Amino acid sequence: MISLNARLCQINAKFWKILNRNIKTKVDESKKVKFTDTINLPKTKFPTRLNQQQRADVEEIIRTKHLNVLYNWQRENLQTQSDDYVLHDGPPYANGNLHMGHAVNKILKDIILKQKIISGKRVHYVPGWDCHGLPIELKALGNIKEKSPLKIREKAKKFAIEAIKNQKASFESWGVTGTWNDNNHTYRTFDKNYIKNQLKMFHKMYKRELIYRDLKPVYFSPSSGTALAEAELEYDENFKSPSLYFRCELLNSQDISNEKVYALIWTTTPWTLPANQAICFNKDLRYNLVKINGSNFIICADTIQNLKSELETDIEIVKEVSAEFLKNLLYRHPVNTDEVLPFYAATHVQSDKGTGLVHTAPTHGQDDFLVFLNKKIPLKCLVNEKGCYNELAPDFLKHKEVLGDGNKLVLQHVEKMNNIVKLKEFKHSYPIDWRTKSPVIILASEQWFINTEKIKTKAIQEIENVKIYPEKSSKISKSVLKTQLEKRPYWCISRQRCWGVPIPVLYNDQKQAIINDDLINNYIKLIEETGSIDFWWEKDVEKLVPKNFDSSGLRKGNDILDIWFDSGISWSYALEKNQIADLYLEGVDQFTGWFQSSLMTSVGIRDKAPYKNIFVHGFTVDETGRKMSKSLGNIISPDSIVKKYGIDVMRFWIAAHATQHSLIPVSNKLLDDSANNLIKIRSTLKYLLGVIGSIEDDCAIDETQLTHLDRFILHQLSDYVSNAKNAYESFQFNRIIALTNNFVNTDLSSCYLHLIKDRLYCGYDSEHQRFRKILSNCYSQLAKTLWPITPFLVEESWNYLESSYSFFKRLRNNSDEKTMWNFSESKEIVEFALNLKKSFCSQLTDMNTTKLNVTIEGNDDDLKVLMNLHPTFNKVHHDSQLCEILQVSSIVLKHSPLKEMKISYETASDNFCPRCRRFQAGANGICIRSSLSSTISDKNVTVRTCKITKKLKKIAIIHGGSKWDLPVNVNLVISHN
């Protein structure tokens, strides 16, 4: 028995002889035969592009039909044995429209949530908003100078609600996972239940003696009229201050000179001189008596060279002065010369700037304050909470603004006493109020504090167990956070405003704080009854206390809680039971803000950190690295990006650029690049959909039927999936984008899909079915990897395979799907052939390789690899795997002693099949394979006799229940007896 293929060739030739002899109907040879219907071209209605309106319509359908139900669906359907993945949302501020920083933050969080969900992990995520604080208060009031606290609160709350409504709509439109329309699954810091919890947390810390009231120097904003925390400061790098070198006359310096001796002091805040109470020196530094312009001064020896430059004069060293001598010195006050003051030793005095002698005003400096705190010396406070000199100040300064006329008037006074040594302008970094952008001062006042000294040791221990991302900057980030905690002396949590949560304290006649369980419980009861905390401003003290509670002589406190305390205790409200969040994700500025306030409160209340991991992202800037601002005209808003490019392009850009740099560049060029990359990915998805046609329940692949090229792409797919998974776990989304672009553009499109087109379009049905399964796996794994980043594109493409449910719901039916293949040997074989192809093509110029007959000569080692793809020597083959990879008509392998392979070629003279345009045409004008467009699975079957019938539209061989179509231009049916 001969093989079926050979027998069919014989039958085909006989058919044509019979037809030419028996069929009388004339065939119009001028009409070209069309083979389009016999070619398996990819077919799908999935569009290559969408215009702006089409894109918006598709996004709306996907959002409302699929993504909006995602959070609740995964909570109900992804019941896992392990704990939920908890991402705790740092609340954005409800004070206006969203900017690119919001988009970066929320979409990074969403990518993480979606990746966990698509991996089968249930997530816990409660979106929140920070709703209190001065910026909202100022925006709500506008130009209205409303003094009533209740009116201010009413307007501020209304403003915040509107801002939240707009922000929520944007977050939802971006496809961010959450229950946006259910207030029970979001949190707002003005909600009654949130405030009830906040009062409880405050009281817990108070009972643990972590919260107290005291007189201390704090950053104070005259423009806002309130104390500020470190996190509420910005720094003006070009702030201009007076740089004053002045002298103070020493009163008991006779042991070192018979002439007058002065202490030389440097300051950039002359307005603080009236509050001077001492001069500080460091006993570990060396000091000299020197002559400057004929006068005697004491200065630190290590500052002399710098002072020569600063004072623009020579300095003559007279003698060394001991620290023992300095500690007994007295001097005249720089403003009130009748007042005599001492020298104190202090470690904060350094020699890197100034003179090594420091003007000390403990009400205006934290280091100064600590010196006097240790010595238990009363403080001199000459400035009020409006930033003006009070009644205790000298007459010429009373009621003057310290940051207004203060410096000028003090300088005039010191000059009048002939005590200015040098005065010039000094440009330096200075703290400003992050809201009003006006300079702040340090001012000692009665405030509420959290005792960070009692917390910081445990907090630093907890930070050791927290992993910080990105990993490349983890050590630096952790060191920065620990250093800030170590240096933080206290945390001021009181503010002198009314839009916020009141500090729940009453005061008696002796100004002692009254707070206890009964009072706190009654406040909580009143919140529940009235629906808000407004009663604190509405009701008298008698109405605030429980029945039978003596309220005589009591008054309400007027301070509110710092908004960092507001948001810092959000873990206690948003997390379930005693949960610790798997992740906090915010901008790098939150090392001084929310990361710290959350850590401090959690350690203070429950002795552990609120998070296991921290992910830090940078700030968005324009393409030149400048901060975006209206004045510069360089703002690119999320809305403008979405309108021009669509949501997925914005998400793609964020994934590509927001996780590896402290400054995240936003430019039209980068956005165009992201859009172009997505177009390429979309085109590949379209091609895959065209091949797949529809989803099959069984995508299992028979590995015994695979070619090396088939195995190569499955191996590359597995590598891609594995590497992408690892990148997701370490939040390297930029790497996922790079991996995806490489897999789609290089491995899939340029290599595999390009090389298999002949088999795919013109091969047998069994080959096509195998391609469907291979490419179904490519599609599903590519879609699964991309879905967290570009959910709209993936969901849209999925709709052309399966429209009854969303892509993520496929998870439940997909658990047993094989996703990993290890065909490393085939990978090496194919890559060897691809390198050979690259070398071969470098010899050609604009030549169609499919028309070439190629001869490859090489040594045994090289040919041994190629024989995996082309199994014979010295024999022409048209249909080997190597022919497919090199895309040539035929190949002959020949042994050669040469060290390097030699490739020669000639143009094929054969007539090529008009259907596949690759193989030789037979007697009937087409190749054997084109005559058998369906697979004959049993190659040993024998066809004995056939019967010919006229006037049907195709030739069909029917044998043993199987049928093979022969597309020719004559009407026949062949059936075996």
Distances (CA, A) of 256 to 248, 289, 332, 460, 578: 16, 8, 18, 48, 67
Task: Please list the alpha-helical segments (H only) found in 560-703.
Answer: 563-568, 571-574, 594-606, 638-645, 647-657, 668-692
Q: Rounded to two decimals, what is the model's pTM?
A: 0.81
> Which pair of structure tokens corresponds to residue 818?
């094989």
**Would you tell me how many other CB atoms lie within 10 Å of the CB of residue 575?**
17
Report whether 854 contacts 891 (CB < 8 A).
Answer: yes
3-state SS, residue 218: strand
| φ and ψ of 208, to 5 deg | -85, 10
Residues 829-843 have a mean pLDDT of 90
> Which pair of structure tokens corresponds to residue 406?
């203060």
**pLDDT tens digit sequence for 707-744:** 999 999 999 999 999 999 999 999 999 999 999 999 99
Residues 329-342 have a mean pLDDT of 93
- The pLDDT value given to residue 724: 95
**pLDDT tens digit sequence for 567-597:** 999 999 999 888 999 999 999 989 988 999 9
Residues 485-498 have a mean pLDDT of 87
- pLDDT for 153 beyond 50: yes
Distance of CA 468 to the CA centre of its chain: 13
Q: Cβ contacts of residue 920 below 8 Å, gap of 6+? A: 878, 910, 911, 912, 913, 927
Residues 376-388 have a mean pLDDT of 87
Unique residue bearing structure tokens 């910005």: 234
Which DSSP symbol is given to 834? Answer: H
| φ and ψ of 742, to 5 deg | -70, -45
Residues 318-335 have a mean pLDDT of 92
R_g of the chain, CA atoms, integer Å: 40
Distance of CA 559 to the CA centre of its chain: 36
Residues 786-807 have a mean pLDDT of 89
3-state SS, residue 330: strand
Residues 908-922 have a mean pLDDT of 72
- pLDDT for 6 beyond 70: no
- The pLDDT value given to residue 9: 47
How would residue 765 be classed by pLDDT, with cut points 50, 70 and 90? confident
**pLDDT tens digit sequence for 738-753:** 999 999 999 999 999 9
CA distance linking residue 902 with residue 890, whole number of Å: 16
CA distance linking residue 48 with residue 468, whole number of Å: 41
Closest CA to 355 of 247, 264, 279: 264
Instruction: Look at phi and psi of residue 676 and say left if phi exceeds 0, alpha if psi is from -120 to 50, else beta.
Output: alpha
Unique residue bearing structure tokens 């001028």: 30
Count of residues in the chain: 977
- Name the residue type at position 226: T
The pairs formed by 318-321 with CB atoms below 8 angstroms and a separation of 24 or more are: 318/257, 318/288, 318/289, 318/290, 318/291, 319/256, 319/288, 319/289, 320/286, 320/287, 320/288, 320/289, 321/256, 321/287, 321/288, 321/289
- The pLDDT value given to residue 764: 79
- The pLDDT value given to residue 922: 65
CA distance linking residue 844 with residue 837, whole number of Å: 11
Beta-sheet pairing, 187-188 with 128-129: parallel
- The pLDDT value given to residue 27: 39
- 281-290, 302-311, 873-882, 948-957: range with lowest mean pLDDT: 948-957
Report whether 86 contacts 581 (CB < 8 A).
Answer: yes
Residues 54-81 have a mean pLDDT of 89
- The pLDDT value given to residue 18: 47
Can you spell out the DSSP letters for 901-945? -EEEEEE--SPBPTTTSSSBP-TTSS-HHHH--S--S-TT-----
Residues 339-346 have a mean pLDDT of 94
CA distance linking residue 224 with residue 436, whole number of Å: 7
> What is the average pLDDT score of the chain?
86
Closest CA to 870 of 822, 833, 835, 902: 833
Unique residue bearing structure tokens 């690049």: 673
- The pLDDT value given to residue 920: 64
How would residue 14 be classed by pLDDT, with cut points 50, 70 and 90? low
3-state SS, residue 174: coil
- 11-15, 433-437, 554-558, 933-937: range with lowest mean pLDDT: 933-937
Residues 343-354 have a mean pLDDT of 91
How would residue 673 be classed by pLDDT, with cut points 50, 70 and 90? very high
Unique residue bearing structure tokens 């496809």: 175
| φ and ψ of 511, to 5 deg | 65, 20
Instruction: Look at 431 and 920; give whichever has higher pLDDT.
Output: 431
- Name the residue type at position 37: D
- The pLDDT value given to residue 694: 77
CA distance linking residue 695 with residue 677, whole number of Å: 26
How would residue 216 be classed by pLDDT, with cut points 50, 70 and 90? confident
Unique residue bearing structure tokens 């491995």: 747
